[in-house]
């Protein structure tokens, strides 16, 4: 077995017993990146020497019996999360040469563990996209089939974890940007409850929806990463200050008597039959463990996607107003006054999808349209939150598909925004309501392409959601996934 094939929890044992060193692990991962990234393009920046230096420090910590559970574990970081002094581009020309002067909260916490940062993972520009094709640095390819997209926007993080060019990765999820690529790449991904992980140092897209979370090759690994990065932080006023960690210790396998709801709207039109069948098969696995599965209804699910695009675009247009070419980021040259500098810097620095969302956001926030669009969307948001609350009176968690289809061919949707947006129909409602949701593989469709299922729980039930995923993983005989051999073959 190659070093890059181990999961984080397996590596933890090997590193602690001294069987392998953090330095040789980091070297193995950097070699794997060198071998796979010409095809995948999962990384925008690879941290070669810096990673080896961190690995050396991790080895000292391990020798002294110090360091956290992730000490010496190589991690990929989505390129919208700030690492001090390391280029953080958001996959945009706007930030092509931007190096932040501070670490994000998650980076501080991973440093405290002794983790090793392999590099910055490719993504859709400013996290706006569902296929990682809008990156200024070129598209990411799906390790299961290089002619297909990895999903998005954390497509680089998902592809790297699937291919073994990262052991675990950190992503961000505004409408499904961790879970949908996890599904399309056949890995495990989690969006924690809104507020569980501090957003300090995450480049803002839509602040009321953005949440940071892990991608990994097992549920246990996701729990390990969450244990490291869940911590109240006063620098993010939406942070849950009394958030409890201990997720790995609380992974339970007893599903006896658990009530599982299957909202029929998630299995309706627009969801491929092979996806539907695979998730219903997973429901049977839960039943075989003693859970009680039942069809239920989330009647407003179809409106969630609409509300999402209004709210997220409105917030994005405000958040992205800061890119003006003055303090950091791209500046157009030769402008005759400041106004021309603003306009040209933004027009040359942002890509097409980002501009489309800024324009939509400016429109729905503008006088005369605010009530009809933005306010209406926020009201629908209230209704969706109420619908979920009612469901969670009856069910411990909900089981749904993670994506209506498996990975599609590169280029197939890029010129059709509405078809692209539909890719998020299974994941978006969760962000609208701020709930925790875990995505994990539950089968393969045509061409061997991964199918993912989604477990949704009430706010702050992150431990329960992970526990249900873990129980399924054990029962389905899964456990840790093997990395995919890039360029053909199945993992």
Partner 1 sequence: MERKQIEDLAKLAKLEFTPEELDRFAGDMGDILGFVDKLGELDTKGVPPAAHVSGAVNVLREDVPRPSVPREDVLMGAPERDESGFIIPRVI
Q: Interface with partner 1 includes 327 (CB under 8 A)? A: yes
Residue 253 gets which letter from DSSP? -
Q: Is 346 in the site for partner 1 (CB under 8 A)?
A: yes
Active site (annotated) includes residue 177: yes
SS3 state of residue 313 = helix
Q: Which of 66, 146, 340, 409 binds partner 1 (CB under 8 A)?
A: 340
How far apart CA 260 and CA 293 sit, in angstroms, is 5
Per-residue contact string for residues 78-97; x = within reach of partner 1 by CB under 8 A: -------------------x
Residue 365 beta carbon to partner 1: minimum distance, rounded to whole angstroms: 9
- Of 283, 295, 291, 194, the C-alpha closest to 252 is 291
Q: How far is the CB of 242 from partner 1 (least distance, A)?
A: 12
Q: Which of 195, 401, 467, 491 binds partner 1 (CB under 8 A)?
A: 195
Rounded CA gap, 262 and 267, in Å?
A: 8
The helix or strand, by DSSP H or E, that contains position 37, with its residue range, turns out to be helix 22-40
Give the residue among 402, 378, 398, 379 at the shortest CA–CA distance from 390. Answer: 398
For partner 1, the binding residues in 133-172 under the rule CB under 8 A are: none
Q: What residues form DSSP beta bridges with 399?
A: 455
Rounded CA-CA distance 122/113 in Å is: 24
Kindly state whether residue 32 participates in binding partner 1, applying the rule CB under 8 A: no
The DSSP output letter for 290 is T
Phi, psi of 141 (to 5 degrees): -110, 150
Least distance between partner 1 and beta carbon 133 (Å): 16
CB atoms within 10 A of CB 45: 18
Check binding of 335 to partner 1 (CB under 8 A).
yes
Asked if 318 is part of the footprint of partner 1 (rule: CB under 8 A), the reply reads: no
Residue 13 among the catalytic residues: no
Provide, rounded to whole angstroms, the least separation between the CB of residue 205 and partner 1.
15
Q: How far apart are CA 391 and CA 395, in angstroms?
A: 6
Task: Check residue 297 for interaction with partner 1 (CB under 8 A).
Answer: no
Stretch that binds partner 1, among 212-220, 281-289, 326-334, 474-482 (CB under 8 A): 326-334
> Which entry of 177, 198, 218, 317 is annotated as an active-site residue?
177
Q: Which of 21, 115, 135, 153 is catalytic?
A: 153
Task: Specify whether the CB–CB gap between 255 and 399 falls below 8 A.
Answer: no
Distance separating alpha carbons of residues 34 and 30, to the nearest angstrom: 6
- Per-residue binder mask for partner 1 (CB under 8 A), 352-391, x = binder: ---xx-xxx-xxx-x-----xx-xxxxxxxxx-x------
Residues with Cβ within 8 Å of residue 132, at least 6 apart in sequence:
122, 123, 124, 139, 140, 149, 150, 151, 152, 153, 154, 155, 156, 159, 181
99 vs 285, beta carbon nearer partner 1: 99
Report how far apart, in Å, the C-alpha atoms of 245 and of each of 239, 324, 359, 434, 462 are.
Answer: 14, 39, 40, 18, 10
Least distance (Å) from partner 1 to the CB of residue 293? Answer: 27
- Kindly determine how many residues on this chain lie close enough to bind partner 1 according to the rule CB under 8 A: 69
Cα separation, 465 vs 398, whole angstroms: 9
Token pair of 212 as six digits: 């940071």
Give me Rg for the CA atoms of the chain: 21
Determine, following the binding rule CB under 8 A, whether residue 414 of this chain makes contact with partner 1: no
Token readout for 99 is: 């190096």
Q: For partner 1, which stretch binds (CB under 8 A), given 75-83, 153-161, 252-260, 300-308?
A: 300-308
115-123, 152-160, 177-185, 351-359 -> range binding partner 1 (CB under 8 A): 351-359
Is residue 153 part of the annotated active site? The answer reads yes
* Segment interacting with partner 1, rule: CB under 8 A, options 6-14, 66-74, 296-304, 447-455: 296-304
- Positions in 225-284 near partner 1 (CB under 8 A): 234, 237-238, 240
Catalytic residues: 78, 153, 177
Q: Catalog residues that contact partner 1 under the rule CB under 8 A.
A: 97-102, 194-195, 208, 234, 237-238, 240, 300, 302-303, 306-307, 309-310, 317, 321, 324-331, 335-338, 340-344, 346-347, 350, 355-356, 358-360, 362-364, 366, 372-373, 375-383, 385, 417-418, 421, 433-434, 459
């Amino acid at each position: 077995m190659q070093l890059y094939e181990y999961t984080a929890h397996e590596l933890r044992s090997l590193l602690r017993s001294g069987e392998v060193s953090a330095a040789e692990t980091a070297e193995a991962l950097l070699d794997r990146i060198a071998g796979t990234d010409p095809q995948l393009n999962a990384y925008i920046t690879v941290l070669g020497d810096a990673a080896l230096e961190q690995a050396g420090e991790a080895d000292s910590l391990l020798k002294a019996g110090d360091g956290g559970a992730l000490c010496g574990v190589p991690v990929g970081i989505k390129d919208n999360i700030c690492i001090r002094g390391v280029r953080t581009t958001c996959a945009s020309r706007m930030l092509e040469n931007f190096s932040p002067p501070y670490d994000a909260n998650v980076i501080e916490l991973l440093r405290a563990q002794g983790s090793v940062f392999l590099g910055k993972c490719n993504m859709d520009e400013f996290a706006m996209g569902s296929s990682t094709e809008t990156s200024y640095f070129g598209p990411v390819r799906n390790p299961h089939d290089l002619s297909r997209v990895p999903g998005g926007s954390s497509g680089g993080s998902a592809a790297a974890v699937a291919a073994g060019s990262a052991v675990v990765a950190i992503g961000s999820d505004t409408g499904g940007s961790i879970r949908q690529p996890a599904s399309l790449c056949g890995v495990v991904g989690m969006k924690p409850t809104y507020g569980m992980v501090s957003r300090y140092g995450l480049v803002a897209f839509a602040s009321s929806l953005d949440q940071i979370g892990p991608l990994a090759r097992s549920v246990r690994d996701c729990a390990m990463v969450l244990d490291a990065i869940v911590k109240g932080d006063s620098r993010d006023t939406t942070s849950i200050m009394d958030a409890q960690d201990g997720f790995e210790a609380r992974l339970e396998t007893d599903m006896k008597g658990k009530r599982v709801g299957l909202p029929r709207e998630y299995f309706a039109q627009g969801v491929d039959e092979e996806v539907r069948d695979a998730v219903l098969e997973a429901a049977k696995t839960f039943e075989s463990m003693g859970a009680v599965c039942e069809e239920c209804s989330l009647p407003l699910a179809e409106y969630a996607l609409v509300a999402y695009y209004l709210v997220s675009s409105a917030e994005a247009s405000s958040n992205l107003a800061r890119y003006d070419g003055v303090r950091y980021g791209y500046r157009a040259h030769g402008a005759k006054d400041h106004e021309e500098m603003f306009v040209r810097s933004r027009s040359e620095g942002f890509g097409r999808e980002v501009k489309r969302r800024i324009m939509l956001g400016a429109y729905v926030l503008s006088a005369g349209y605010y009530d009809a669009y933005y306010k209406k969307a926020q009201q629908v948001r209230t209704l969706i939150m109420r619908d979920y609350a009612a469901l969670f009176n009856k069910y411990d968690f909900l089981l749904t598909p993670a994506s209506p289809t498996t990975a599609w061919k590169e280029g197939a949707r890029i010129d059709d925004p509405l078809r692209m947006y539909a890719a998020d129909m299974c994941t978006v409602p969760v962000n609208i309501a701020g709930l925790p949701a875990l995505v994990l593989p539950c089968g393969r469709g045509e061409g061997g392409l991964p199918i993912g299922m989604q477990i949704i729980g009430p706010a702050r039930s992150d431990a329960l959601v992970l526990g249900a995923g873990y129980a399924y993983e054990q029962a389905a005989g899964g456990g840790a996934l093997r990395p995919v051999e890039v360029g053909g073959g199945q993992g």
